[in-house]
Structure 1
Amino acid sequence: MNAAARKIQRVYLTLTLGNTLATSFIWGINTLFLLDAGLSNLEAFAANAFFTAGMVLFEVPTGVVADSWGRRVSFLLGTITLASSTFLYYLLWQWSAPFLWWAVVSVLLGLGFTFFSGAVEAWLVDALHYSGYDGGLEAVLGRGQMVSGVAMLGGSVAGGVIAQATDLGVPFLIRVGVLVAMFAVAFLLMRDVGFTPERSAHPLRATRSVLKASIDGGFKHPPVRYIMLAAPFTEGVGFYVFYALQPYLLQLFGDPRAYAVAGLAAAIVAGADIVGGWMAPRVRQRVRRRTTVLIVSNVVSSVILVVLLFTTTFWLALVLLALWAVVGAAGTPVRQAYLNDMIASKQRATVLSFDSLMGSSGGVVVQPLLGRSADLYGYPASLAVSGAVQLLAAPFILLSRRQRSQADTASDLTAAT
């Protein structure tokens, strides 16, 4: 890796570290926070569904910002929007607000995250290409996932410990402060290179153009289309399981106020991100086709969720959940690299945002349904159902594999279309 590419990687890792640290302070206690505000399981996961609905609604419009005004502008807007909506969440908890207000602010939280999705990854890939980097994307994306895992581990555990020492609202205030600090860091360090924004004076026309580019550059391209169609099942289940683990682990542990234990849910996923990010490029050295990694990851993680139905021991559940998270995390950089190697630079942020939209759309439907199953049959049964739902992604990955895209076996940036 040359000096210019190394500098790009450092900025990317810095942004990933700070942004994940900021957002992860509440990840270990978010479901408990919603339940403490007086919401039922159905309402809590419906609030999460409104969050993902916000991501669905705003993915394309914020893609216009990333492609028309720049990926840096998109990141800066994301930090401010997410900080503001997080503070509103804190106020709703203080006021024990009715569900309607939780739904509205959850949509705003989704808006904040859409400014990030696609933009940072597109910024990285284009900047690496511009700098002359010709190595495999899995290596850099894997490092990013490892850094994200470290930040998430620290943030989620700290959030749980702080909540137990103070109250459930304090981690939300800490998140606001760190996001404001990240605005300053991004303003100073992040510059769009290898990409020239195409500014438009007609936002609605630009939105239609971006949506068309998303479909033409992504959905009409068969190997990309099938990977996107798998996303609603994997992402929808991922959203639910991540937040259901908090009350599930507390239930197994036997102490409903052991918030530090609840933080273990996010800590498990964070540790898995570190291990998975380290594994991804090494797995790719031994497995010829990227889709092989994705299929194995999907099937194994689905089976583990079903096994949790029969698990009543807290420590055994922790081991199984850690294994589930590692298997999924090892496939994430491979999926990212596979998609990026099939997308042209000009539409990269747009198509990646559309892919995120597809995943979020699954969360809108899956989370409240699985939350309702937890109300009716308990968390173990809802996790087993989650495994069955996630397995529905496997046929779509197989269909993508059958297209025999060059990206399936590529190992460097030169394969990008």
Structure 2
Amino acid sequence: MSDKHERNFFLFKVLDRFFFALSFPTYVLFLKDGGMKPSEIGIINTMFLLAVVLFEIPTGIVGDRFGRKRSIIIGLFVCSFGHLWYFSSHSLWMYSTAEMIIALGVSFISGSLQAWLHDSIAHHNGKNKFGVVWSNGEKFAHLASVVGGFIGALLASIYLPLPWLVACLGILGLAILCFWLVDESYFVHEKLGWKENWQKTIQIFKAGFSLSWNKKELRYFYIITCLTLFALQPMNQQWSLYFEKEFGIGSILLIWLGVSFSLFLGSHTVSCLLKKDNSSEVTLLFIVQLLTSVLVLLMAQQISPLLVVFFFCFHEIPRGSWSSLSESYLQKQIPSAIRATMGSITSVVTRLGAGAGWFLSGLLLERVPILNCWFFSGICLLLTLPFFFLLRKSTRVSNGYVQV
């Protein structure tokens, strides 16, 4: 991959994460200010994930058929409109609609971005592996999250919905920039008639599902990631509520900075480890999962709130490693022709777990303390550990005992 392509990817990740991060620190507080109860916040989040499940596979096929660049740009325009809708929302159905619009946009980007990066590296004979480039991109993105979250919190202190309007304009600008930023000149769109296009779409759809069903290591990978998101995704909804109650709203920004720095450390560690030729994503994912499980269970022990802050920020280091490791492993298992579609199928399967976790979290928050919910999350993470041994065994057999 040429330096230009790598720089363009990093710039995209930085700008994309910066604008999306504007609303992150005050998201739950914004919904509470709009009169939403914890159970209703759970419904809103679940609507996003259900919409992703609905849109992911069709949009992934669009990326494989008509180009990943087109899919990414369409997704950014849709996300921009979704943020504008959020800015003007004031009821459960409007918030839910905004989430569904953003979900459609995210679905166009998801899968296509990874596919574009992986195939660009292959086309330009890049010296860095996909996992290394992706983790470096995540590293820069986490730094952008720090700045975006800080600025978003300042904007929210002026007017709570303001971060959504600024994000809308920023994402719109990024969509326009991507006409030059995302180079896919090597992609050749096969011009077909309406009937042939439909047949080709069905062919890609069947190939993706056939691979997902028949490849044993993908099935184990889906189980692990589905349970992981079921356990951890609700914590994204819960942490600001817990720390606001313990330390006040002024603590949210400081903890957000700590979380972002921890995520940066996680991505940086992975980028260093994946540079080694004998690095094993499966082994590293197991270590990350074990460490995360222990730290989440420690958070739930009803100890000093200051220690909860420490363990919470520390557990974000292995969480920051997860995305790059899982993406690196996944991209090795799927062929180029259906790469975006497979990324979308993976997103559908795993986000079902996240949606279930978010929905259950909204119900539990009205009945049990947050730390009890985190204890349940830690137990769920521990339950995934045996599947790593099955994943490692099936991966070795499938790849002729090649270390992956």
Q: Does 1:157 align with 2:150?
A: yes
Query: Any conservation in 2 of the 1:374–1:381 contact (CA below 8 Å)?
Result: no
How far 1:406 sits from its partner (Å)? 3.5
Judging changes above 3 Å, is the alpha-carbon distance between structure 1 residues 347 and 34 closer, same or farther for their aligned structure 2 residues? same
User: Partners in 1 of 2:36 and 2:273 — Cα distance?
Assistant: 43
Q: Does 1:196 align with 2:188?
A: yes
Q: Aligned to 2:110, what secondary structure does the other structure show?
A: coil
Query: Any conservation in 2 of the 1:126–1:195 contact (CA below 8 Å)?
Result: no
Alignment correspondent of 1:121: 114
User: Partners in 2 of 1:408 and 1:181 — Cα distance?
Assistant: 47
How far 1:286 sits from its partner (Å)? 9.6
TM-score, L = length of structure 2? 0.92
Q: Output aligned runs, 1:84-99, within 5 Å.
A: 84-92=81-89, 96-97=90-91, 99=92
Judging changes above 3 Å, is the alpha-carbon distance between structure 1 residues 208 and 272 closer, same or farther for their aligned structure 2 residues? farther
Structure 1: any 5+ residue segments left out of the alignment? 412-417
User: Partners in 1 of 2:34 and 2:263 — Cα distance?
Assistant: 30
Q: Does 1:231 align with 2:229?
A: no
1:102 to 87, 92, 95: 95
The number of equivalent residue pairs is 399
Q: Does 1:182 align with 2:170?
A: no
> What is the one-letter code of the residue matched to 2:74?
L
Query: Any conservation in 2 of the 1:236–1:366 contact (CA below 8 Å)?
Result: yes
Judging changes above 3 Å, is the alpha-carbon distance between structure 1 residues 59 and 356 closer, same or farther for their aligned structure 2 residues? same
Q: What are the Cα deviations for residues 285-322 of structure 1, in whole angstroms up to 9, with x where unaligned?
A: 49743211111211221222222122453432222112
RMSD: 2.2
User: Partners in 1 of 2:65 and 2:269 — Cα distance?
Assistant: 36
Q: Output aligned runs, 1:6-405, within 5 Å.
A: 6-92=3-89, 96-97=90-91, 99-164=92-157, 166-198=158-190, 201=194, 205=199, 207-253=201-247, 255=248, 258=249, 260-264=250-254, 266-284=256-274, 285=276, 288-403=279-394, 404=396, 405=398
Judging changes above 3 Å, is the alpha-carbon distance between structure 1 residues 288 and 131 closer, same or farther for their aligned structure 2 residues? closer
User: Partners in 2 of 1:195 and 1:393 — Cα distance?
Assistant: 39
How far 1:133 sits from its partner (Å)? 1.6
Query: Any conservation in 1 of the 2:284–2:325 contact (CA below 8 Å)?
Result: yes
User: Partners in 2 of 1:23 and 1:129 — Cα distance?
Assistant: 29
Q: What are the Cα deviations for residues 222-271 of structure 1, in whole angstroms up to 9, with x where unaligned?
A: 11221122222122333211221111111121x2xx2x532345434422
User: Partners in 2 of 1:309 and 1:136 — Cα distance?
Assistant: 38
How far 1:46 sits from its partner (Å)? 1.4
User: Partners in 2 of 1:223 and 1:366 — Cα distance?
Assistant: 24
Structure 2: any 5+ residue segments left out of the alignment? none
Judging changes above 3 Å, is the alpha-carbon distance between structure 1 residues 39 and 213 closer, same or farther for their aligned structure 2 residues? same
Query: Any conservation in 2 of the 1:60–1:207 contact (CA below 8 Å)?
Result: no
Judging changes above 3 Å, is the alpha-carbon distance between structure 1 residues 210 and 101 closer, same or farther for their aligned structure 2 residues? farther
Query: Any conservation in 1 of the 2:65–2:201 contact (CA below 8 Å)?
Result: no
Q: What fraction of aligned residue pairs are identical, expressed as a percent? A: 21
Query: Any conservation in 2 of the 1:127–1:195 contact (CA below 8 Å)?
Result: no
Q: What are the Cα deviations for residues 54-101 of structure 1, in whole angstroms up to 9, with x where unaligned?
A: 111100011122111111111111111111111111111xxx32x233
Query: Any conservation in 1 of the 2:121–2:130 contact (CA below 8 Å)?
Result: no
Give the stretch that moved more between structures: 25-34 or 206-215: 206-215
TM-score, L = length of structure 1? 0.89
How far 1:332 sits from its partner (Å)? 2.5
User: Partners in 1 of 2:95 and 2:200 — Cα distance?
Assistant: 31
User: Partners in 2 of 1:71 and 1:288 — Cα distance?
Assistant: 29
Q: What are the Cα deviations for residues 332-372 of structure 1, in whole angstroms up to 9, with x where unaligned?
A: 31221111111111111111111111121112211110221
Query: Any conservation in 1 of the 2:293–2:379 contact (CA below 8 Å)?
Result: yes
Q: Aligned to 2:58, what secondary structure does the other structure show?
A: helix
